[in-house]
Chains A and B, each alone.
Chain A
């Protein structure tokens, strides 16, 4: 078999700007005046507790949600405008993979170039096999998503994103539900993807090791607001008690947190 991994994808890359982004569902405010800037070509990790609005924020960047107010710009293009998806090659790696269950891994990857008629079947095959080879998935090509393990599904989802030759790559919880070794593997893949493609990557994750290990910069989102933005080294030495507690939680059996959570609802 040809060594497809030798040819990296290199295309344009875009920065992302969130400008006073607000989002409410009915009366529940999920994002509150969020502003941040992701520079072209960097890996930007957004961390935060469950329910803090990370995935909703990512959906705004992907154009899957409309802001209540404020805006999201990809380069100079408004993310909420459907035409932006024609101008910017954007790929989102979903938390659960969102692979098409009725298609094999190969056909999942081939769907994008086929539907956009980017090349003939031989070209599509080369493109798909190259992505599968980068992620060591050649043997899974003919398998259906239901036949793959959780880690393999995530890798196929990343490979599918890679086939799109994205200019902006978004990851939603790429290491959730994976064992520590597979989590580290996925983190390595994300960093390698950037090296292969120079693509801007925004990663939403709970995974502290991933964030501190591969992020160029990171932000912590709490209760719908940006609590801090900086380089991983700055977060390691943070003096903010909420962030320190989030990044280095200790198990306190005498004063369990769930009791506190219970009280919060009262």
Chain B
């Protein structure tokens, strides 16, 4: 019962944090330097790992599907399989997981440390709402950067698949043929659906990580516990939201 109460309280606080942050939307233009800094942290700093991982995920996907599909002569459809899988599912989910690990954990650690060392209390006594300067720029930045990261992930995955198809002996599908089937079986809606999912995941992850950081109480030991909690909640949330958003978009 106590755990259920804590879960409901956590959900309520997270929603309230989103509403409170939204109230300060008009202050975003004058917080432009903070917004750019967060875009750098969330976007630019995450780009290398997104590039490398998505390239290899696309490659493995092509390899596995090539291995299965070549048995019944359907290897010319590998392009569409990799294309759709990356755009609709793997791209947004993988980017959200990477953002959780790379950015979400850092956000929680920073905000939890600010809370534990009373910097958040100092902001409150200075009549500077923490939601305005600590949460809003991060939410705005993740909404801008998630589509960029997901698009890069999709492209890297597709090209990783194409490379494997060309240079793996038992597949041997030329890039022209690979991209031709990718285009034939994909629509712009598939790309948009993936980007919408990425936006939802990114917003949820940053919101949960901010709320967990700002709810931290106690000493320095709690900072580590808060980071673990935020990452676990975010990962579960990504997969739960994935089901519901996919169902809503189909």
Contact = CB atoms under 8 A, between A and B. Distances in A.
A116 B122 CA distance: 15
Interface stretch (B41-49, B113-121, B198-206, B228-236): B113-121
B128 interface: yes
Contacts of A115: 126, 128, 133
B122 A94 contact: yes
B19 interface: no
A111 B121 CA distance: 14
A73 B124 CA distance: 18
A64 interface: yes
A86 B127 contact: yes
Contact of B125 (A91, A96, A100, A116): A91
Q: How large is the interface on B (under 10, 10 to 19, 20 to 34, 35 or more residues)?
A: 10 to 19
A92 B126 CA distance: 8
A62 B118 CA distance: 13
A98 B117 contact: yes
Interface string B98-129: 00000000000000001001110110111110
B118 A98 contact: yes
Interface in A102-120: 111-112, 115-116
Contact of B124 (A64, A86, A96, A111): A64
Most chain A CB within 10 A, of B119, B122, B128, B133, is at: B122
B126 A98 contact: no
Contact of B127 (A85, A96, A98): A85
A56 to B, nearest CB: 13
Contacts of A111: 126, 128
Contacts of A116: 127-128
A112 B128 contact: yes
B117 A92 contact: no
A92 B122 contact: yes
Interface string A46-68: 00000000000000001110000
A115 B122 CA distance: 13
A202 interface: no
Contacts of A64: 121, 124-125
A98 B120 CA distance: 8
A98 B128 contact: no
A90 B121 CA distance: 13
B133 A98 contact: no
Nearest to B118: A98
A111 B31 CA distance: 12
A85 B127 CA distance: 6
Most chain B CB within 10 A, of A64, A86, A98, A99, is at: A98
B45 to A, nearest CB: 16
A164 interface: yes
Contacts of B121: 62, 64, 92, 94, 98
Contacts of B114: 100
A96 B125 CA distance: 15
A99 to B, nearest CB: 8
A101 interface: yes
Contacts of A92: 121-122, 125
Contact of B119 (A85, A86, A100, A164): A100
Q: Which 7 A-B pairs have the closest CB atoms?
A: A98-B118, A98-B122, A85-B127, A92-B125, A115-B128, A94-B118, A112-B126
Interface of B: 114, 117-119, 121-122, 124-128, 133
8 contacts: A62-B121, A62-B125, A63-B124, A63-B125, A98-B122, A100-B119, A101-B117, A112-B128
